[in-house]
Amino acid sequence: MKTLFKPVVIALSLTTVIACNANNNSSNIAELLITETVIETHSKTEKPEIKVALLLDTSNSMDGLIDQARAQLWKLINELSYAKCEDESPNLKIALYEYGNDNLNADEGYVRQVLAFSDDLDEISKALFSLTTNGGNEYCGKVIKTALNQLEWGNNKADLKLIFIAGNEPYTQGNVNYEEASKFAHQNDVTVNTIFCGDYNQGIATKWKAGADLTHGNYTAINHNEATVHIASPYDDKIIGLNEALNKTYIAYGSAGQAKMEMQAEQDTNARNYNKANAVSRTVSKSSRLYKNSSWDLVDAEKEANFSYDTLKESELPKELKGKSKSEIKAYVEAKAKIREKLQDEIATLNLKRRHYVAEHNNSSTNNLETAMIKALKTQAEKKNYSWEE
């Protein structure tokens, strides 16, 4: 059993909860004991942050919701890459929870933290693709309170702190009152946005709208079985082709370097096997400022203020750098960085053309997880003077 005091979490569940907490008082957050293995990644920064806790219902009949989350993750991240907080580009952290699955611990209210707040986009993708459905008993109040207690929301008033919870059972189930959980969120400057998978009026009748209203969040009803529509563009194949060249600019180092590089390749495969649209969106995400791998990639690590070539150990270097001098290693890293920057610029240029093409040819309206989340994100962001750059 593991005691967590300040986990960083990404939560996926049929209830998608993205929570932002500006005035979080950590002393009000109780210790949370869980028996599940938790993935934690930490990165300290003074930049403003967008913190999203995604709570997904993984009971039976929620396969469509999880499918949408997997299909639309990279599109959501790409949209968030354009966010600005005054003159700064905020960092993004996502936490994932699942709830309502009979395979989960009954003593914990059928709630599991899949991933703490993380800026490791590959870890987030892996967590989403690990989800399966079964059961169950869906306790919205319980999963919201757990995410509030368990996650480290921080005290920066510039941060955008959001919970997205998605599901299709009454919001009132379980022994934790949803009104109590909502008030706790509001006290800690976390906005709860509710996404009901079903009829709009049924969601109102089962208190999903009331749950959002208590924290001034958005209530949306979606068709969780709606297939994700991809509008093919003349730029798709070129963007996907650049991904292979982009991967060759990564220099894995440290004890976790090789495993992380393999995970990168695995998530490329997951996106590609899903469909071409997902592969395109992931490649675009990998060229954005939000895709950072300084914990295992020397090109990203070299950009960190506390990085020093003097601390690199021979045993942790890739074979192509073993036996090289510090100056030789630095020259090698800088050369890879220049290639990566050129590729990222090329992908960004193609993506801009792709976005314009899609906008011109998109005549359909969607009612899915992605549209609900982006609308809520922008609505809440405006209240904190965030803006979007194209």
115 and 194: one domain? yes
Measure Cα distances from 144 to 65, 166, 179, 256, 264 in Å: 18, 11, 11, 32, 31
How many residues in the chain? 390
* In contact, 207 and 167? CB cutoff 8 Å: no
159 and 248: one domain? no
139 and 264: one domain? no
Whether residue 100 is preceded by a cis peptide bond, meaning omega within 30 degrees of 0, is: no
At residue 390 the predicted structure's pLDDT band, cuts being 50, 70 and 90, is: low
92 and 169: one domain? yes
pLDDT at 251 over 50: yes
In the chain, % helix, strand, coil (3-state, to 5) comes to 45, 15, 40
208 and 334: one domain? no
Distance between CA atoms of 52 and 258, rounded to whole angstroms? 28
Residue 70: give its domain's CATH number.
3.40.50.410
Count of structural domains within the chain: 2
pLDDT at 35 over 80: no
| 124-152 CB burial, b ≥16 within 10 A, e <16 | bbbbbbebebebbbbbbbbbbbbbbebbb
168 and 280: one domain? no
pTM score? 0.83
Q: Residue 39 pairs with which residues in a beta bridge?
A: 115
Q: 173: which 2 tokens?
A: 């189930």
255 and 332: one domain? yes
At residue 304 the predicted structure's pLDDT band, cuts being 50, 70 and 90, is: very high
pLDDT at 353 over 80: yes
135 and 21: one domain? yes
pLDDT at position 284, please?
Answer: 96
- Listed residue (10, 51, 55) closest to 165, CA to CA: 55
What pLDDT digit, counting tens, does each position of 39-62 carry?
444 444 478 999 999 999 999 889
High-pLDDT (> 90) share of the chain, %: 75
The radius of gyration of the chain's CA atoms, rounded to the nearest angstrom, is: 21
What distance separates the 2 farthest-apart alpha carbons in the chain? 68
Measure Cα distances from 15 to 79, 92, 99, 141 in Å: 21, 20, 7, 11
At residue 28 the predicted structure's pLDDT band, cuts being 50, 70 and 90, is: very low
116 and 188: one domain? yes
| CA end-to-end span of the chain | 46
* In contact, 78 and 109? CB cutoff 8 Å: no
State residue 327 phi and psi, 5-degree precision. Answer: -70, -35
Distance between CA atoms of 333 and 298, rounded to whole angstroms? 7
What pLDDT digit, counting tens, does each position of 270-286 carry?
999 888 889 999 999 99
- Listed residue (229, 169, 166) closest to 202, CA to CA: 169
- For the chain, what is the mean pLDDT? 87
Distance between CA atoms of 388 and 83, rounded to whole angstroms? 5
Q: Residue 10 pairs with which residues in a beta bridge?
A: 115
Q: Which domain holds residue 380?
A: 2-229+370-388
* Contacts of range 203-210, beta carbons closer than 8 Å, 24 or more positions apart: 206/169, 206/170, 206/171, 206/172, 207/170, 207/171, 207/172, 207/178, 208/171, 210/171, 210/178, 210/179
Residue 18: strand, helix, or coil: coil
What pLDDT digit, counting tens, does each position of 12-24 carry?
433 333 333 444 4
109 and 258: one domain? no
Q: Please state whether beta strands 386-388 and 83-85 pair in parallel, antiparallel, or not at all (unpaired).
A: antiparallel
12 and 52: one domain? yes
201 and 340: one domain? no
pLDDT at position 13, please?
Answer: 39
